[in-house]
């Protein structure tokens, strides 16, 4: 997986690509262009060897939303040209057009972000942000969040099991179930914050706030591609703007 | 010899506690000495360590009276970040004592050096060396969150000694370790002492203290009640008053004495017992 | 007591952020598992606002949505809502709005308004009025009954938010009450909630 040229690109290059798609979608008129972007993203995902995860997440996260949005616009977008009518429901041509525009844009931009995170380790992305000026504290907070989430999930499950064996109901009427929420969440929060004092001492003991510039074992390198691609993206965006608004 | 750690009439109260946790404490530790702090639970040992490391009062706030002087400079004149290079602190709870952002032990141990801005090449060499020293090379690719308590204690110790501080403050580093692991930790501490480090250790295992430490500080309800060379403190009849354990052999020797068997001196290490019994006619030991 | 942006940040506050983000996520997951009709996904953000102030809570809200966005980009634009909730909770706490149950309920309602006012434009401009959750169905119903888009979005999101936010702030109120003075003393707004001070 590490040999893949696309995956090996610098995180910032991939991020610029995501922003590039974002810009292209907003600049280009109509929906055809935006819909055309999705197959391109699938192609990239395939080349990067992440197509399966990519499509899975697109389906889970975006498909219902898109269907919903499309139906809504179809029925409720203001317009004159009624194509079909049934009681109070009317489908209007303007609605379909706006629905397609909206869904094409959300699909393209949303899946560009999904693809970005399939192709980039968050750790690498944070490192690249640190390289361009994110304070170490910010980087620490994000990375530590990523480590704490699964830990807390596990603890929540443990506590919940313990509650069950102690007779706290997690089934039954809504009030019964609601009552299980607090005894699960409260100890989780209290025990987690109780550890922060010692975590702070640990960090200080590891010279976290030493008044020097930090070094890092984790180095990201930029290839020629990484230098060239952002320029290409910028030129294309400028070209599009000129074509769209000045010609 | 110069004093590395010097406390003068230090009293301290946590912001949320009613009484002083440290009461008028004065002592002085010379460079290169290995000093053990002993005392019962809640007697203020950890608070004393926090004071030497400067977390009291920089981090814990509260009222600190008296003077804490580390390497000739008052602690109030250091910045929190600066003291980190001088005083390495391994604290009690091994479970929280990880950076929380590294996914393997090698990087975990390297974390302090990254923060100190050490060049990457040097970091790698130093981490390798310390992993070997602390005998955790086999853990290098493991996630720090997935270690046992004892393994975490070793990683915590390694993460501090890799930073090569002049003073090491170590609070109960062996609570999660088996006897062999404990012995190994003491060997590492001895090695640190040979390298000229000044060491302050909180520990309940008296046999090992008797074997390795130079001096003792005895804490009791926030007061520093006894201090001096290990042998003298254990031999002092006052020690019994504080209900702290003796080294094993000393305990036995005291009972022998009570039942009328004369001893030439009070042994504190196992191998001294025979000596103490045989040489009753010789007046004094070294 | 005057506080600047920088005063609100210290290491203890920073270390609270990851926990709070995880609490947001775990709260949401728990509410799901228990099949509760509310989200309970801003408890962490509100806690941070209450004990550490608006700016730390702003970061908590932002990071929560960025991390959720990794798996569902619909969350990205709503980062603004999370941010607003955090900042709102922070200011409410500063002015003593979390010191008693009735005041806490009022803050819950104020936070609901904040959330609705910030999220409605996002829903309308970015998603055309619906995003496929429960409140979308209500929006659709309002629209079908002839309401304007904006008022449909506002009223449906108010209906779905108000119970969630009032319950959330009450949970926060009780959790903060259960926090030790030792911990609270290290948080920027902690002295507002320490038992020791209130006793005097
Ligand atoms: N952060 C704190 N805030 C308030 N009180 C504290 C704090 N830390 C310790 N104390 C109190 O100070 C006293 C001394 O505690 P300390 O941890 O120094 O004892 P110790 O000798 O290290 O005990 P142990 O052998 O259990 O580690 C105790 O009464 C304890 O409750
Ligand atoms: Mg202790």
Residue-wise pLDDT for A94-123, tens only, equals: 899 999 999 999 999 999 999 999 999 999
> How many Å lie between the centroid of ligand 1 and the Cα of residue B205?
19
Delimiting residues of CATH 3.40.50.300 domain(s) in chain B: 3-237
A61, A197, A203: residue with CB nearest C74: A61
Looking at all shown ligands, the one closest to residue B171's CA atom is 2
The secondary structure element, H or E, covering residue B45 is helix B45-53
Structure tokens of C184?
Answer: 């609270």
Kindly indicate the confidence band of residue C200, based on its pLDDT and cuts at 50, 70 and 90. Answer: very low
3-class SS of residue B171: strand
> How many Å lie between the centroid of ligand 1 and the Cα of residue B44?
6
What does the alpha-carbon distance between residue B201 and residue C77 come to, in Å, rounded to a whole number? Answer: 53
Q: Output the average pLDDT for chain A.
A: 91
pLDDT in tens, chain B (286 residues): 689 999 999 999 998 888 899 999 999 999 999 999 999 999 999 999 999 998 888 888 888 999 999 999 998 888 767 788 899 999 888 888 899 999 999 999 999 999 999 999 999 999 999 999 999 999 999 999 889 988 999 999 999 999 999 999 999 999 889 999 899 999 999 999 999 999 999 999 999 999 999 999 999 999 999 999 999 999 999 999 999 999 999 999 999 999 988 888 899 999 998 888 886 555 444 4
Closest CA to B87 of B171, B208, B174: B171
Per run of 10 residues, the mean pLDDT along chain A (length 247 residues) is 81 97 92 94 96 96 92 85 78 90 96 97 95 93 94 90 80 81 90 90 89 90 94 96 88
pLDDT digits (tens, 9 = 90+) for A26-61: 998 889 999 999 999 999 999 999 999 999 999 999
Q: pLDDT exceeding 90 applies to what percent of chain C?
A: 73
| Residue C175 near chain A (CB below 8 Å) | yes
Tracing tokens 């810009």 back to the chain, one arrives at: A23
* Closest Cα in chain B, distance from residue A142 (Å): 9
pLDDT digits (tens, 9 = 90+) for B220-257: 999 999 999 999 999 999 999 999 999 999 999 999 99
Q: Which residue's CA is the closest to the ligand 1 atom numbered 22?
A: B46
Structure tokens of C23?
Answer: 């609490």
Pocket of ligand 1 (CB under 6 A): B 14, 16-17, 21, 39, 41-47, 60, 92; C 182
- Is the Cα torsion angle B77, B82, B84, B87 positive or negative in sign? negative
Q: Which numbered atom of ligand 1 lies nearest the CA of B92?
A: 27
- Is the Cα torsion angle A142, B105, C183, C40 positive or negative in sign? positive
Name residues 171-200 of chain C within 8 A of B (Cβ).
Answer: 181-182, 185-186, 194, 196
| C154: preceding bond cis by omega (within 30 degrees) | no
Q: Which residue's CA is the closest to the ligand 1 atom numbered 13?
A: B42
| Residue C163 near chain A (CB below 8 Å) | no
Contact A104, A96 (CB under 8 A): no
pLDDT digits (tens, 9 = 90+) for B38-48: 999 999 999 99
| Mutation choice for ligand 1 from B42, B170, B217, CB with most ligand atoms inside 8 A | B42
Q: Which residue's CA is the closest to the ligand 1 atom numbered 6?
A: B14
pTM for this structure? 0.91
Looking at all shown ligands, the one closest to residue B244's CA atom is 1
* B3-237 fold: Rossmann fold (3.40.50)
> How many Å lie between the centroid of ligand 1 and the Cα of residue B42?
5
| Residue C6 near chain A (CB below 8 Å) | no
Q: What is the pLDDT of residue C19?
A: 97
pLDDT digits (tens, 9 = 90+) for B100-126: 999 999 999 999 999 999 999 999 999
Q: Please determine, for the modelled complex, whether the ipTM score is greater than 0.85.
A: yes
Contact A210, B82 (CB under 8 A): yes
Q: What is the pLDDT of residue C37?
A: 86
Write out chain A residues lying below 8 Å of B15, CB-based. none
pLDDT digits (tens, 9 = 90+) for C153-196: 999 999 989 999 999 999 999 999 999 998 998 899 999 999 87
Closest CA to B109 of B121, B119, B97: B97
| Mutation choice for ligand 1 from B25, B41, B46, CB with most ligand atoms inside 8 A | B46
A77, A109, A181: residue with CB nearest C30: A181
Dihedral pair phi/psi, residue A245, rounded to 5°:
-110, -15
Kindly indicate the confidence band of residue C9, based on its pLDDT and cuts at 50, 70 and 90. Answer: low
Q: What is the pLDDT of residue B1?
A: 62
Q: What is the pLDDT of residue B80?
A: 61
Q: Output the average pLDDT for chain B.
A: 91
């Amino acid at each position: 997986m590490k040999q893949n040229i696309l995956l090996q690109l610098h995180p910032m290059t991939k991020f610029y690509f995501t922003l590039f798609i974002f810009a292209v979608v907003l600049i280009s008129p109509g929906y055809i262009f935006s819909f055309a972007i999705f197959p391109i993203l699938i192609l990239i995902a395939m080349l990067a060897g992440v197509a399966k995860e990519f499509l899975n997440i697109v389906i889970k996260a975006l498909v219902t939303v898109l269907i919903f949005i499309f139906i809504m616009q179809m029925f409720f977008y203001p317009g004159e040209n009624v194509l079909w009518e049934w009681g109070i429901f009317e489908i209007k041509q303007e609605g379909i057009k706006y629905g397609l525009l909206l869904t094409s844009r959300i699909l393209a931009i949303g899946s560009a972000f999904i693809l970005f995170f399939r192709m980039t380790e968050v750790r690498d992305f944070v490192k690249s942000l640190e390289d361009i000026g994110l304070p170490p504290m910010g980087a620490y907070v994000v990375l530590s969040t990523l480590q704490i989430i699964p830990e807390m999930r596990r603890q929540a499950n443990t506590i919940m099991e313990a509650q069950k064996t102690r007779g706290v109901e997690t089934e039954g009427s809504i009030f019964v179930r609601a009552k299980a929420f607090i005894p699960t969440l409260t100890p989780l929060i209290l025990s987690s914050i109780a550890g922060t004092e010692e975590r702070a001492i640990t960090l200080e003991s590891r010279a976290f706030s030493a008044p020097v510039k930090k070094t890092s074992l984790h180095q990201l390198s930029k290839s020629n591609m990484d230098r060239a691609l952002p320029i290409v993206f910028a030129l294309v965006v400028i070209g599009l703007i000129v074509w769209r608004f000045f010609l | 010899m110069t004093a590395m750690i010097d406390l003068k009439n230090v009293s301290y109260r946590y912001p949320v506690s009613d009484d002083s946790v440290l009461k008028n404490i004065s002592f002085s530790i010379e460079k290169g000495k290995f000093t053990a702090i002993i005392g019962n639970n809640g007697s203020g040992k950890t608070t004393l360590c926090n004071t030497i490391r400067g977390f009291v009062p920089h981090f814990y706030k509260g009222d600190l009276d008296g003077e804490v002087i580390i390497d000739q400079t008052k602690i109030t004149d250091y910045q929190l970040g600066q003291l980190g290079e001088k005083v390495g602190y391994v604290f009690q709870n091994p479970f929280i004592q990880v950076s929380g952002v590294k996914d393997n032990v090698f990087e975990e141990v390297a974390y302090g050096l990254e923060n100190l801005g050490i060049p990457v090449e040097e970091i790698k060499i130093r981490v390798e060396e310390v992993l070997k020293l602390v005998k955790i090379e086999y853990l290098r690719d493991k996630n720090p969150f997935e270690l046992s308590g004892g393994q975490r204690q070793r990683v915590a110790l390694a993460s501090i000694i890799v930073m090569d501080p002049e003073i090491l403050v170590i609070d109960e580093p062996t609570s999660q370790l088996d006897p062999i692991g404990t012995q190994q930790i003491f060997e590492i501490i001895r090695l640190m002492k040979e390298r000229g480090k000044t060491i302050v250790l909180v520990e309940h295992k008296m046999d090992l203290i008797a074997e390795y430490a130079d001096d003792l500080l005895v804490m009791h309800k926030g007061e520093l009640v006894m201090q001096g060379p290990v042998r003298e403190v254990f031999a002092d009849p006052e020690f019994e008053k504080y209900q702290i354990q003796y080294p094993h052999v000393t305990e036995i020797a005291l009972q022998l004495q009570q039942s009328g068997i004369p001893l030439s001196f009070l042994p504190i290490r196992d191998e001294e017992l025979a000596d103490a019994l045989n040489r009753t006619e010789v007046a004094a030991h070294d | 007591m005057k506080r600047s942006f920088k005063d609100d940040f210290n290491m203890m506050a920073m270390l609270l952020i990851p926990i709070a983000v995880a609490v947001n996520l775990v709260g949401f997951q728990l509410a799901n598992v228990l099949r509760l009709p509310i989200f309970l996904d801003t408890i962490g953000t509100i806690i941070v606002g209450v004990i550490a102030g608006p700016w730390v809570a702003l970061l908590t809200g932002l990071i929560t949505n960025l991390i959720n966005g990794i798996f569902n980009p619909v969350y990205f634009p709503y980062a603004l809502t999370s941010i607003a909730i955090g900042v709102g909770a922070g200011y409410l706490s500063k002015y003593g709005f979390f010191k008693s149950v009735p005041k806490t309920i009022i803050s819950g309602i104020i936070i609901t308004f904040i959330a609705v006012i910030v999220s409605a434009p996002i829903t309308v401009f970015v998603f055309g009025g619906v995003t496929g959750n429960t409140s979308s169905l209500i929006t659709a119903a309002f629209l079908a009954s002839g309401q304007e888009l904006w008022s449909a979005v506002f009223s449906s999101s108010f209906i779905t938010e108000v119970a969630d936010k009032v319950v959330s702030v009450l949970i926060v109120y009780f959790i903060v009450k259960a926090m030790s003075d030792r911990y609270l003393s290290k948080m920027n707004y902690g002295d507002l909630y320490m038992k020791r001070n209130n006793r005097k």
